[in-house]
Amino acid sequence: MPPCAFLRFLATLGFLSRLAPARVIDEADMRRSMFHLPLCGLVIGLAACGPVLAGLFAGQPLAQAWLCVMLSAWLTRGLHLDGLADVMDGAGQHLNPERFWVIIKDSRSGTFGVAALVLALLGQTVLLAEALRAHPAWTVWALPWMFVFGRACAVVFGRITRRLIRPGLGGLFLAGATAPAVAWALCLALAPTLALLPVAAGSATLLALLGLIPLYRLARAVNGVNGDFLGASIVIGETAAAAALALSASPALSRLNSIASLFASP
């Protein structure tokens, strides 16, 4: 990675997490940050799942899953979760565009936002626990993929909604969702998984679409998209990946995964 690209990567990582020093990013570099989103997801995923990868709480899948989800929320300062809560508050209370954007800018969380946070965090914990309970060996090493996939979903969503971008910090990020950024994101998120866990890759993609399509329709209904939508798309992608890991761990699909991976291997 060239020095300038590496510095932009560190700047993006510092903006999205506690894993690098936060610093002021100019508008040009902010637009290029979208390209680094999936790789930042890999670093965040390795850090969040590090204790579990090292064997902490071995044989206790619920504790391992909770630890990964909790560390992810702490490492990212709840940035993406805040986006999900804001979007759900706005969507749950009013779809009039003007009223929606007033609600989404309110720093207070309402009933819909809190419910969305509880369901997302609880859902990710339960799904990862089920995957770890069924196949602890390979699931533990697949955990960081969930964070890569979530951020790849954000890049794809940003590309699809570029014409709806609203002014602001999130808009600068979204403007960087170029075709090369999307190609790189899909390569990082799907290429290794298609070779090793093809059923999980396919399931995650389908489940993510089921979540991102309504989010896209909401963006069209309120005539705009901002950084909160980006955060919501990341949480949707992460949850879809967690659900895919749980599905792949079921006995029938686990056998199918093994057969498919044989065909996917060179």
| Tens of pLDDT, residues 122-172 | 999 999 999 999 877 778 888 999 999 999 999 999 999 989 988 877 777
Collect all residues with Cβ–Cβ distance below 8 Å to 225 and sequence separation of at least 6: 161, 164, 165, 166, 170, 174, 219
**Residue 236 Cα distances to 12, 36, 53, 149, angstroms:** 21, 19, 24, 10
> Which amino acid, 214?
P
Mean pLDDT of 8-16: 89
pLDDT at 236 over 50: yes
Exposed/middle/buried for residue 110 (C-beta within 10 Å: 0-12, 13-18, 19+): middle
Prediction pTM value: 0.91
Predicted pLDDT at 156 = 96
Mean pLDDT of 193-207: 86
Can you tell me the mean pLDDT for 240-248?
A: 92
Whether 240 is in a domain gets the answer yes
Q: Which of 39-48, 51-60, 189-198, 200-209 shows the lowest per-residue confidence on average (mean pLDDT)?
A: 189-198
Domain holding 247, by residue range, is: 36-264
What mean pLDDT comes out for the span 237-263? 72
Considering the domain boundaries, does residue 13 fall inside one?
A: no
The residue ranking higher by pLDDT, 126 or 8, is 126
Please count the structural domains in the chain: 1
Tokens of 15: 């903006």
Q: Does residue 191 sit within a domain?
A: yes
Instruction: Flag whether pLDDT at 262 surpasses 50.
Output: no
Q: Is residue 27 part of a domain?
A: no
| Alpha carbons 120 and 170: distance in angstroms, whole number | 22
Tell me whether residue 237 is in a domain. yes
The answer to whether residue 31 sits within a structural domain is no
Maximum pairwise Cα distance, the chain = 54
Is the residue at 18 inside a domain?
A: no
User: What pLDDT, on a 0 to 100 scale, did the predictor assign at position 195?
Assistant: 74
90 within a domain of the structure (yes/no): yes
> For the chain, how many helices (H) and strands (E)?
13, 0
